[in-house]
Structure formats: C-alpha cells, structure tokens
C-alpha cells in the first residue's frame, strides 16, 4: 500500500542567533489511508512542528514531505495553498471558526475558498452528521465549545480531504464531549478512508488511535500499532 503521507529524513531547525533548536531530527514516517494516528510526547518534543511540516504550513530545513504522492516540501506557495484547500482538513484546539459567520457558512468556507459550489444542502447534511441539525444558523458565540468543535469538524470534512490534521482537538473539551469529537474523527476514517493525524496530550485519544507515534526530542521514540477499543 502506498503511504498517503511520507516524511523522509525530515529535520527542522530553528535558529536563534548563534543557537539552534532542533525541533525535528532526521524523522521518517509513513502514514496510510484508513487510519487514525495519534502523535504524543512531552511538551517541546516536536509534535506541532511535525504537524506543521506534514501539512505544508512549515517547511523542513532538510528532508522531504510527500502528500498523496506529491512532494509538498518542494512546492511553491500558490500550489501548496491549492493542494491544502483541496486535500487537507484542519481541526484546532481553539476551533478557529469565523465569529461573524453562521455554522453553515463556516462549514461552507473551504468550498468557497477552493472555488467549488457552495451547496447548503450538503452543509446541512454535514452538520446533521455531527449532531447539529437545527443549529445551522447559529453563530459560534451561541454554541458551546463541544458544538463549536463539531462545526469545525464538519468544516474540515466537507471537502472529503485525504488527510485531516487535528492539533489538540479535544484540549478545550470535557471528557464526554471529547469522546464524541474523537468518534467523529474515527468516522472520517471509517467512511471516507481518510488519513487522520491527531496531535494530543490526551491518553484517551491515544487509546482510540490505530497507531501512536510518541516523539521525544524531535525523533520518534515509539511507534505503536494500537487496537482501538
Ligand atoms: N517558531 C519557532 N521558533 C523557534 N523555535 C520554535 C518554533 N516553534 C517551535 N520551536 C521550538 O521547537 C521545539 C519543538 O516545538 P513544538 O511546538 O513542535 O513542540 P510540541 O511537542 O508541539 O510542544 P507542546 O506540547 O508544548 O505544544 C521546541 O523547543 C520549541 O521551542
């Protein structure tokens, strides 16, 4: 099986004057479709940097990142933006919804940015799938944290992306709400065969992953194939 996401000898070094911070050190990873991978590890171990490089939001200092067979680490900004919009979904701890738009408008945003038809029926179907039928016209400020994260997941999945990156998606949620959010990400794996990558400190998320990459000091310290409960 071909990897959907392939990181080869990825190094990311930040320079602070004479000092260098090695956020990722010669890291190799291959991630496949139909899988949810949790990236864990202590603070400062490189989790966010890995996600940023894998998503083409940051560039490795050396090494290559391939997404769906294309080398994104060598792409120009424009091509990269287009690829991100078409093939990648993002979910963040802070939800990142636009406060002036309704839930439905937020969900339709990636289609709008990608120049695709904004189909309100499809948006409502996505919102229903995340348990928010009836709240399509609510603005983020009128929704709870868990509901906002559900909108963010509907927004991430509306383009049926190959890869979904989630950075601490349950970090701001209580345990039960977090479990529901994780279930939705698992459904993206089950229904679309997506490759889902979740950066998390939450052991409950890691326990529900197909695979756990534990980072330490910019390297993969453990690569564990899990059996989701
Ligand atoms: N933009 C930046 N400029 C300079 N150094 C950075 C930058 N981003 C990250 N670093 C450094 O790179 C290392 C890895 O950071 P990273 O944010 O990837 O870790 P993390 O595992 O996601 O941490 P946390 O769990 O606290 O979010 C850290 O030492 C951090 O200080």
3-class secondary structure, 160? coil
pLDDT of residue 227: 53
- Its ipTM equals 0.96
As a whole number of angstroms, the distance between CA 167 and CA 72 comes to 20
Ligand 1 atom, smallest distance to 52 CA: 18
Give the angle subtended at the CA of 158 by the CAs of 143 and 81, to the nearest 5°.
105
pLDDT at position 226 is 64
Q: Where are the domains of the chain?
A: 33-59+77-225
Average pLDDT, the chain: 92
Ligand 1 near 47 CB (within 6 A): yes
Closest CA to 198 of 175, 165, 171: 165
Instruction: Give the residue-averaged pLDDT of 143-168.
Output: 93
How far, in Å, is the centroid of ligand 1 from the Cα of 21? 9
Architecture of the domain spanning 33-59+77-225: 3-Layer(aba) Sandwich (3.40)
For 144-166, what is the mean pLDDT?
93
Is any ligand 1 atom within 6 A of the Cβ of residue 44?
yes
């Amino acid at each position: 099986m071909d990897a959907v996401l392939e990181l080869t000898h990825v190094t990311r070094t930040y320079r602070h004057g004479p000092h260098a911070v090695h956020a990722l050190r010669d890291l190799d990873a291959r991630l496949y479709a139909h899988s949810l991978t949790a990236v864990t590890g202590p603070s400062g171990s490189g989790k966010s940097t890995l996600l940023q490089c894998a998503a083409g939001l940051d560039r490795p200092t050396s090494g290559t990142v391939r997404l769906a067979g294309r080398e994104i680490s060598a792409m120009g900004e424009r091509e990269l933006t287009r690829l991100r919009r078409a093939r990648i979904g993002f979910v963040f701890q802070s939800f990142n919804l636009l406060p002036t738009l309704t839930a439905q408008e937020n969900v339709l945003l990636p289609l709008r940015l990608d120049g695709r038809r904004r189909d309100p029926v499809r948006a409502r179907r996505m919102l229903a799938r995340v348990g928010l039928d009836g709240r399509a016209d609510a603005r983020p400020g009128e929704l709870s944290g868990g509901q906002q994260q559900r909108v963010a997941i509907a927004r991430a999945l509306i383009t049926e992306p190959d890869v979904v990156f989630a950075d601490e998606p349950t970090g701001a949620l209580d345990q039960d709400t977090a479990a529901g959010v994780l279930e939705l990400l698992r459904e993206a794996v089950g229904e679309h065969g997506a490759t889902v990558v979740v950066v998390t400190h939450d052991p409950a998320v890691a326990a529900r992953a197909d695979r756990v990459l534990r980072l330490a000091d910019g390297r993969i310290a453990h690569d564990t194939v899990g059996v989701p409960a």
